[in-house]
Amino acid sequence: MQELDYKIEAKNGLKFRQLYGGIQDVLIPEMYVEQTTRKVLIMEWVEGQKLSEVKDLYLIEVGVYCSFNQLLEKGFYHADPHPGNLFRSYDGKLAYIDFGMMGEFKEELREGFIEACLHLVNRDFDALAKDFVTLGLLPPTAEKEAVTKALTGVFQNAVAKGVRNISFGDLLGNLGATMYKFKFRIPSYFSLVIRSLAVLEGIAISSNPNYKVLGSTYPYIARKVLTDSSPQLKSSLVALLYKEGVFRIDRLESLLTESLRARTEKALIKKQTEDTDSRLITKEILSFTLTEKGAFVREILLQEFAKGLDALGIATLDYFTSAVIPFAAPFSFSSLTEEDRINLTNLRRLLLLLSRVQSSKSASVVRVLLVQDHDAVHCDVFKQLVIIILQEVKEGSIYKNQTTYSEEASLVFYQLASAQEVLPILSVIPELPPELQQEFLHLPADLAGRLISRAAARTIRRMFL
């Protein structure tokens, strides 16, 4: 009967307004707490139409963003967002009313929910089974292997088409039999959270049958994982990006790409991030990694760049050794390892990620490097070296055990050699704020220090092997 106590509702509304009233195009009516009694609520009058009666996908996106803040940032959320409680005000804002039923989402559960979303999208169903225990959905005694197998069967097809096509309703529907078999428990908080998201998706579907609330929420989740200072989320990010010490760059690419979609501005709702020009995307990635919030990801990127450049140096040395002393090739010993090959691949993909330029995947195709005359001085040597290496690989004259490594090195050289691909990264630097430009200038020294450390470690290993 707490909902009948309007003093409690007024305090809920006041707190909700303080937490979320500053979000762009969100309207939360003012509460007159002093004038409110237990049976009479005094609040600001709101006029408008039910959100379910107007086709306004922009306000749906605003609602998704506001829901993300409620559920995964602050933890205080509107637990009864049915169509009658969400309005489009006459000045075009999303208005919330009725604060009688509210929920609290504790921090450890918020982080567990974020981890569950990450593991679901990345099809890590073993980790997802553990998340369900953390969230209180499964008892700690549940048979993890059996649960993992069941979850794989339930979710594999649902996530196969990508995060933007995952239907929240379908996920819940498919989970029903598995929940019964493994005696899932549904905590009260979870019921309210699921109801809140399901209602929002239902309203959105009335305007756009293909709308997916999880697909719209995931960019904010991706950005939070990349920027949050929580030790638990940092640990989750490392576990997501590394498997047995190997960097999984495809997952970082996915997180960064999705995080760039975390917008609510009207112009950007109409024109999604993937349609934005590569220059803007490059600028945004650099801006993010150079800020304090991007420090953890920046450390990971610098570490992987150092690994890649170290491997590139070894690949170059091996190539020239076999080229200068061709008769020694049958007896040559390649310094490159399988780890180096992976690091070369990652270096090339990191360059592509930053420049957002498509590159040929075949090392046997020599492409013409189109540069202006004023660029020729800077890249002519690189161009000639790339053409030579690519031609050697094409003709098969490089020692065959080194071919894979040379191909990888050739593609990295190509990426570095083309002014058209590298200059977009550098050309956006003057457009960054002065403090970020200063941060960028510190990167070469930091990277050089890491390369020296790797070279020293490699030398020490050789001395004792």
Please report the pLDDT score of residue 300 as a whole number: 92
- Whole-number percent of the chain with pLDDT over 70: 75
Which range, of 15-24, 48-57, 267-276, 278-287, averages the lowest pLDDT? 267-276
Q: State the Cα–Cα distance between residues 291 and 355, nearest whole angstrom.
A: 19
What is the rounded distance in angstroms from the CA atom of residue 382 to the CA atom of residue 230?
Answer: 43
pLDDT, average across residues 241-266? 83
- Name the 3-class secondary structure at 94: strand
Question: Model's pTM, two decimal places?
Answer: 0.77
Q: 102-127 pLDDT, tens per residue? A: 989 999 999 999 999 999 999 999 99
Please, what is the average pLDDT of the chain?
78
Cα distances (Å, whole numbers) of residue 126 to 130, 162, 177, 215, 334: 7, 19, 19, 22, 38
- Identify any residues that bridge with 86 across adjacent strands, giving them in sequence order: 96
Q: Residue 34's pLDDT is what?
A: 94
66-77 mean pLDDT: 92
**pLDDT at residue 387 above 60?**
no
- Mean pLDDT score, 213-232: 91
Q: Can you tell me the mean pLDDT for 143-165? A: 85
Q: Which residue has the higher pLDDT, 353 or 465?
A: 353
What confidence tens digit (pLDDT) does each residue in 323-367 have? Answer: 555 555 444 455 778 888 888 888 888 877 776 543 433 333 333
Q: So what's the pLDDT on residue 438?
A: 85
Whole-angstrom distance, CA of residue 112 vs CA of residue 32: 36
**Owner of token pair 């570095």:** 416
- H or E segment and range at residue 405: helix 403-417
Residue 278's pLDDT is: 64
CB contact set of 239 (below 8 Å; sequence gap of 6+): 127
Specify the pLDDT at position 6. Answer: 94
Q: Reduced to 3 states, what is the DSSP secondary structure of residue 99? A: coil
User: Residues of 176-205 as b/e, b for ≥16 C-beta within 10 angstroms?
Assistant: eeebeebebeeeebbebbeebbebbbbbbb
> How much is the CA Rg of the chain, to the nearest whole Å?
27
d(CA 85, CA 28): 11
pLDDT digits (tens, 9 = 90+) for 364-383: 333 333 333 334 434 444 44
Q: Is 310 a catalytic residue?
A: no
DSSP state of 368: P
277 vs 68: which has the higher pLDDT: 68
Q: What pLDDT digit, counting tens, does each position of 399-454 carry?
A: 444 455 555 555 555 545 444 555 556 677 888 888 888 888 888 888 888 888 88
Q: How far is CA 462 from the centre of its chain?
A: 38
At residue 177, φ and ψ (nearest 5 deg) are -65, -40
Using CA of residue 393, residue 394, residue 399, residue 400, what is the dihedral sign? positive
d(CA 78, CA 192): 9
User: How do strand 246-247 and strand 242-243 relate by DSSP bridges?
Assistant: antiparallel
From 5, 25, 56, 80, active-site residue: 80
Q: What pLDDT score was predicted for residue 422?
A: 57
Q: What angle do CA 357, 362, 368 make, to 5 degrees?
A: 65
- Return the closest-CA partner of residue 68 out of 213, 190, 170, 204: 213
E strand intervals along 320-440: none
